[in-house]
Amino acid sequence: MKRCNMNVENWIRGGVLCAMVALVGCDSGPVISTVQPTESEVLAAWVNQSAMPSLNRVVATAEQMNGAIERLCESPTSETLQQAQSAWVEAYLAWRHAEPFLVGPAAAMDRQIGNGPVNRIVLDAAVDSEELAYMLKDSDVRGYAALEHLLFAPQQVAAVTTPGRSAHLVDLSAEIYTLSVRAKEQVEGDFYRDVIAAGNGDPYLVPAEALSLVFGEVLNVTERIMRNRIGEPSGYFRGPTQPLSVEAWESGAAQEGLRTAVAGLRLALWGAGEASIITLVATKDGLVEASNPQLAADLVKQLNRIQKTIEGLGGASLRLEVELAEHPNTFQRLYKQFQTLQNQLIEASLVLELDVHQGLLLIAPDAKAPLPK
């Protein structure tokens, strides 16, 4: 077998290394262990080597962002604005990377601070009017998306830090940090302990029940990327293209957001190497289904294919809204690549004999495109 080069991916702007082992590839294709891990080993690795480091990063970057925004509002200068903007990008990317791990109690945090797109018209009006201030409690003017608009849309620091904007900036960043800490504390307690101990009967009768929860969230994240972050902007469902609905376009972090989201999916599926979901697909023979090493290899190849497409988006400008306006077919091709990945994931859930039906029901009712058959 030819020796393969191991690649550790940079997923945060500024060179912060992601705590993951990236895909290993060589001329003959991805190298996947032939040693079968137990489901309990996979769950333990998912918690200790993937989920916990990802949530730790969410909390750390949220804390840094909160501090940077407080400093901006206390001392508004071009330098403090740039620091707050950079801190937002790092916190946003950490959250996008951690999405596959926001299960159990952490899912509530994701729903509260992951709302998008922001209602820019309402937000701009409400931060400058006492009469409209009550509208700042609405979900479409909160979360990462609202913070991005407040930090990046105005051109001058004085416009960013008017009294109303400053108050909402501090409120939003404090909320994101508080909810991130709470989510981390909630899952680090009984939830993670129960996942690792799945099979003892409380609350999971068998490890596959916990693994179904973990795997189901990977499917959910894939669906959200397809529907909200690619399908809507590209006009895939009903057209025309909507470049300004691209997530994180105001900060110029849209491409990094997609790239980081794929890195999170990859970490969830194969972050722990031998004790991983992909290795289970390649090696586990169930009561009904047989192991499928070809499917495991295809999953790796599809993730790499998606990553390559994302790397080619935006051209020299690296701005996806420009790419989308000029070359909408590229975005639609990316959608189809994610759809292929979703098909493969559903097939993998059958190989592993996991019950992800409930998770699919949760994402299907409001989907604007049918789930793969």
SS3 letters across the chain: CCCCEECCCEEECCCEECCCCCCEECCCCCCCCCCCCCHHHHHHHHHHHHHHHHHHHHHHHHHHHHHHHHHHHHCCCHHHHHHHHHHHHHHHHHHHHHHHHCCCCHHHHHHHHCCCCCCHHHHHHHCCCCCCHHHHHCHHHCHHHHHHHHHHCCCCHHHHCCHHHHHHHHHHHHHHHHHHHHHHHHHHHHHHHHHHCCCCCCCCCCHHHHHHHHHHHHHHHHHHHHHHHHHHHHCCCCCCCCHHHCCCCCCCCHHHHHHHHHHHHHHHHHCCCCCCHHHHHHHCCCCCCCCCHHHHHHHHHHHHHHHHHHHCCCHHHCCHHHHHHHCHHHHHHHHHHHHHHHHHHHHHHHHCCCCCHHHHHHHCCCCCCCCCC
Residues 356/215, Cβ–Cβ less than 8 Å: yes
**Is 319 or 252 the better-scoring residue by pLDDT?**
252
Across the range 155-179, mean pLDDT stands at 96
Question: Whole-angstrom Cα distance, residue 107 to residue 189?
Answer: 15
pLDDT at site 361: 41
Whole-number pLDDT of residue 32: 86
- Which pLDDT score is estimated for 305? 95
Among 101-115, 180-194, 257-271, the range scoring the smallest mean pLDDT is 101-115
Rounded Cα gap, residues 173 and 179, in angstroms? 10
Res. 56 pLDDT band, cuts 50 70 90: very high
Residue 166 phi/psi, 5-degree rounding, is: -60, -45
- Rounded to two decimals, the pTM is 0.87
Across 8-12, 74-78, 178-182, 353-357, least confident range: 8-12
CA angle 189, 194, 200 (to 5 degrees): 150
- 137-156 pLDDT, tens digit per residue, is 998 999 999 999 999 999 89
Burial of 16 (C-beta count, 10 Å sphere; 0-12/13-18/19+): middle
Q: Tell me which of 22-31, 47-56, 250-259, 266-275 is least confident.
A: 22-31
**Is the CB of residue 8 less than 8 Å from the CB of residue 267?**
no
pLDDT of residue 15: 37
- Look at residue 14 in the predicted model and tell me its pLDDT: 37
pLDDT at 262 over 60: yes
Q: Which residue has the higher pLDDT, 2 or 215?
A: 215
pLDDT at position 314 is: 65
pLDDT at 171: 96
How much is the average pLDDT of 208-235? 92
Ranges 68-82, 219-233, 319-333: which has the least confidence = 319-333
Residues 6+ apart with CB under 8 A from 200: none
Angle at 243 between CA 329 and CA 334, to 5 degrees: 35
Q: Kindly state the average pLDDT of the residues 330-344.
A: 91
pLDDT recorded at residue 108: 83
What pLDDT score was predicted for residue 21?
A: 35
CA angle 349–333–5, rounded 5-degree value: 65
Q: What's the pLDDT at 321?
A: 72
